[in-house]
Amino acid sequence: MIACLRLFTALCLAALLAACASSPSSSLGELPRTPDASIEQLLDQAAKSKTPEQAALLRLSAADLAYRQGNAGQSAQILQQVPVEQLKPGQQVFASTLAAELAMVRNQPKAALTALSHPSLQRLSELPVEQQVRTGTVHARALEADGQTLAAARERIFIAPMLEGEAASKNHEAIWTLIASLPTDQLQPTTTDDLGGWMSLALAVKTAGTLEQQQAAIDNWRTQNPKHPAAIQLPLPLTKLKELASQPLGKIGLLLPQNGPLASVGKALREGFMAAHYQAQQAGQKPPAIEFYDSSRLTSMDEFYRKAQADGVQLVVGPLEKPLVKQLSARPQLPITTLALNYSEGEQGPAQLFQFGLAAEDEAREVSRRARADGLHRAAIMVPKGEWGDRVLRAFSQDWQANGGSIVATERVDQPVQLAQQIADMFQLRQSEGRAKSLQSTVGSQVAAQPSRRQDIEFIFLAATPQQAQQIKPTLNFQYAGDVPVYATSHVFSASGDQNQYNDMNGIRFCETPWLLDANDPLRKQVTAQWPQAGGSLGRLYAMGVDAYQLAPRLGQLKALPDSRIEGQSGSLGMTQNQRVVRQLPWAQFVNGQVQRLPDTAR
């Protein structure tokens, strides 16, 4: 009886090992696969195994089973018990892949990439297709999460021929998402392989202007690349573009205030919007008809939409008033697609609502991006007291710290008389003076000591009016901090042409709309000839009106092509997942009473 039990146990162990292993390979070693046993049974058999090789294989299989069952913690614990360096190369690949998958569960792409740099990965191509796909997939995910977009796309293109069915379709769409997110200057195909084809497709789509031009570019690319995977199966966003191109925009309803406190803002937006409309007409295009509505006389948004529908309006641009935008964002749906010219407080509105405005938060994030691009890491912050300053501070801080930057000091500016004290406190000058006095007291004689400031502030983020900035920059110079770079939002720039004011802000760098930085733009020249105020600070509103017109027929395009951009007069425009248009801005600097454009950096 005992002998029979021993024989049965031996047979079970043999069956278990057979179930855990793929077809044998003398040099690569057996690969675990999903076993017909529980994690506990596998670990129990591993503890009883007579050879280290069998024990390692069983534990590797148990770790994999735990991962597949969603227990990453248990999987990692078991994997730690596996002596990876004693395994054969194929098993090392398997273990490294599992380690990378567990790292991605912890959102640690760099740890995943380290696991996948094991020397055994050089023999990945000798392993079964299933293992190549599994390793390639986690490698692509880790590269993407680490910001290595092109490398991630290359990895997905490599595994594409090995996939079938739904997995193949998902990978196909993922390739397009990665390639489409690359900046235009990185889409310069140097090869004629699949990667080169993907890049040339993305370049063709991004450099075409209107939906019709994009559709023509896609059709032309498919004709030239008939055997490319994207020609055989057009990515879903490009299929949506085709549908959009077949539905041209015939009439826009422009909903802006013509009376009340926002009448002047509405007037500037309307004049910018119509200037772009007339420019399109002059260029021989067939722009949509424009119907005007006065939001200052509205009694009900429902009534407005009923009238707009009766008038044949297909898209509403407006309203501008924040309470109305807030009201729209709270609705489950809208009867007509709407581009509001302000932002609601909530994160997500109905699917038919898009939002666009000159948000100071965009500029705060732009300062964060530019300072990072310039190699800076430690920021001090100066913003006005109050709700506006708090919003700008929050937007900058969140973006700056999320990308690895640190904030070493913050001051809220209020009364000018306090500026000197605030800046002295920020740079800890009073502590320096105190040390000098202490030393003087100790030695009993006069000590020549210039106050020294703290050295850990690499730049100042400034959100302030021109009048405040005129006081802040000279005070920084006076307080021994004149060499600290200042990065500011556009609010420091009055666009008045006042050289004395600009001299007081010498050295300050600031982001600004292309409209105010490029006086030679043909449309700006045309508009400022008719409305001179468009060349001053009101120009930002004219630029926003121009861009609202450019955005109107392209909202679906931005939604269908995440990470694509429209180069507008108020900035480089993109769209977030919650359908908010966000701006990236060019940069300038005050130099000897003049405004000098700064070179752009990589985005």
The confidence score (pLDDT) of residue 28 equals 75
The confidence score (pLDDT) of residue 267 equals 97
Measured in whole angstroms, the distance separating CA 243 from the mean position of its chain's CA atoms is: 27
Band (pLDDT 50/70/90 cuts) for residue 8 is very low
Q: Is 75 left (phi over 0), alpha (psi -120 to 50) or beta?
A: alpha
- List CB contacts of 412: < 8 A, sequence separation 6 or more: 382, 383, 384, 385, 389
Residue 355: beta bridge partners? 340, 580
The confidence score (pLDDT) of residue 209 equals 67
Q: Nearest 10 degrees: CA dihedral of 129, 131, 136, 142?
A: 170
Q: Show the tokens assigned to 572.
A: 């480089």
Task: Return phi, psi of residue 180, to 5°.
Answer: -65, -20
* 231 CB-contact burial (10 Å; exposed 0-12 / middle 13-18 / buried 19+): middle
Task: Return phi, psi of residue 293, to 5°.
Answer: -135, 145
Kind of pairing between the strands at 459-462 and 486-488: parallel
Among 133-142, 247-256, 257-266, 435-444, the range scoring the smallest mean pLDDT is 435-444
pLDDT for residue 240 is more than 60: yes
CATH code for the structural domain at 171-247? 1.25.40.650
pLDDT for residue 387 is more than 90: yes
Domain range list for the chain = 29-147, 171-247, 249-355+520-567, 361-441+448-512+589-597
The confidence score (pLDDT) of residue 65 equals 93
Kind of pairing between the strands at 486-488 and 509-511: parallel
Band (pLDDT 50/70/90 cuts) for residue 480 is low
Same fold? 29-147, 171-247: yes
Q: Average pLDDT, stretch 340-348?
A: 86
**Tens-digit pLDDT profile for residues 110-130:** 999 999 999 999 999 999 999
Q: Show the tokens assigned to 489.
A: 């939002």
- List CB contacts of 471: < 8 A, sequence separation 6 or more: 416, 419
Please provide the distance, in angstroms rounded to a whole number, between the alpha carbons at the two ends of the chain: 76
More confident residue, 581 or 28: 581
* 356 CB-contact burial (10 Å; exposed 0-12 / middle 13-18 / buried 19+): buried
Q: Average pLDDT, stretch 67-81?
A: 93
Task: For residues 488 and 383, give the distance between their C-alpha atoms in angstroms, rounded to a whole number.
Answer: 10
CATH code for the structural domain at 249-355+520-567? 3.40.50.2300
The confidence score (pLDDT) of residue 437 equals 46
pLDDT for residue 429 is more than 90: no
Task: Return phi, psi of residue 147, to 5°.
Answer: 85, 5
The percent of residues in the chain predicted with pLDDT above 70, rounded, is 88
Task: For residues 551 and 337, give the distance between their C-alpha atoms in angstroms, rounded to a whole number.
Answer: 13
The confidence score (pLDDT) of residue 482 equals 74
Give the chain's mean pLDDT. 86
pLDDT for residue 18 is more than 70: no
Task: For residues 73 and 421, give the distance between their C-alpha atoms in angstroms, rounded to a whole number.
Answer: 53
Q: Show the tokens assigned to 256.
A: 């802006």
Angstrom CA distances, 443 to 127, 429, 513, stand at 78, 21, 57
At position 345, the amino acid (one-letter code) is E
Angle between helices 263-282 and 539-551 (to 10 degrees): 50
Q: Name the H helices within 37-88.
A: 39-48, 52-68, 72-80
Q: Show the tokens assigned to 461.
A: 């983020």
Instruction: Classify domain 29-147 at the CATH topology level.
Output: 1.25.40
Q: Is 323 left (phi over 0), alpha (psi -120 to 50) or beta?
A: alpha
Q: Show the tokens assigned to 445.
A: 């004689």
Q: Give kind and range of the element (H or E) at residue 503.
A: helix 499-504
Residue 293: beta bridge partners? 255
**How many other CB atoms sit within 10 Å of the CB of residue 248?**
13
Confidence (pTM):
0.69
Band (pLDDT 50/70/90 cuts) for residue 22 is very low
**Tens-digit pLDDT profile for residues 145-199:** 988 999 999 999 999 999 999 999 999 999 998 998 887 778 887 777 999 999 9
∠ CA 442-445-446, nearest 5°, is 115
The percent of residues in the chain predicted with pLDDT above 90, rounded, is 62
Q: Average pLDDT, stretch 559-586?
A: 86
| 463 within 8 A of 489, measured Cβ to Cβ | yes
Q: Is the dihedral of CA 368, 372, 374, 377 positive or negative?
A: positive
The confidence score (pLDDT) of residue 2 equals 38
CATH 3.90.25.10 fits 361-441+448-512+589-597, yes or no: no
